[in-house]
Amino acid sequence: ETGVTQTPRHLVMGMTNKKSLKCEQHLGHNAMYWYKQSAKKPLELMFVYSLEERVENNSVPSRFSPECPNSSHLFLHLHTLQPEDSALYLCASSPNVLESTDTQYFGPGTRLTVL
Amino acid sequence: AQSVTQLGSHVSVSEGALVLLRCNYSSSVPPYLFWYVQYPNQGLQLLLKYTSAATLVKGINGFEAEFKKSETSFHLTKPSAHMSDAAEYFCAVILWGFSGTYKYIFGTGTRLKVLA
């Protein structure tokens, strides 16, 4: 039990669909993250939130839209995706976005397939 | 800029044999380095981290890593492989931003296979 849960675990969507990924952390952390994990590529940081405020956006296309309504929940809204967006999307949390020695705790991921 | 390189995308060892997973880093400042493990259908889990204290770092499940500045390396080792060690292993270095925040820069991962 990592303390970070993600739903759904698997998602198949067409390019015209709109869907959302959900992440919830039960660790009392202040920072939450979205990562993209594609085959044969390093994990890519997409977004960083600290206390519900977005502090980093790593040049992610606008078809990915994050939302952090409170420090325990993080969403990734998806619309008009492309097949190359198929990947494992990982959510993580850490106690404090400014403390680089903190461990990040990862959820199990959502396996997204875009047809 | 900070980066890490993991040599060998796949490594196979026999059960009971030494595990050695290689990670070399590039950093313009003293680095913070991490090893994470990802078991099938799970997220990443921290194995160990180096944050400028002792150069030999011990982690969970019998793993350890040694920071060698002269070789810019942070290789992960375990004396005796167990079947349960089969997973993908990621090395990461910290990259600091101007705003005081940081992010991990991950390597491409090494998939460890343990043979019976």
Contact A43 B104 (CB under 8 A): yes
Q: What is the pLDDT of residues B22-69, one digit of tens each?
A: 999 998 888 899 999 999 888 899 999 998 878 999 999 999 999 999
B18 pLDDT higher than 80 = yes
Within 8 A of A98 by CB-CB distance, chain B residues are 100-102
B22: Cβ–Cβ under 8 A, 6 or more apart, which residues? Answer: B6, B7, B8, B73, B75, B110
Q: Quote the radius of gyration of chain A (alpha carbons, Å).
A: 13
Q: Which of B9, B32, B104 sits opposite A101 (nearest CB)?
A: B32
Measure the CA–CA gap between B19 and B75, rounded to whole angstroms: 10
pLDDT at A1 over 70: no
What pLDDT is stored for residue B99 in this prediction?
Answer: 67
A48 touches chain B (CB under 8 A): yes
Residue A31 reports pLDDT greater than 60 = yes
Q: Which residue has the tokens 């999307």?
A: A89
Q: What is the distance between the alpha carbons of residues B44 and A45, in angstroms, rounded to a whole number?
A: 14
How far, in Å, CA of A104 to CA of A54, rounded?
Answer: 17
Closest residue on chain A to B102 (Cα): A100
Provide the pLDDT for residue B102: 76
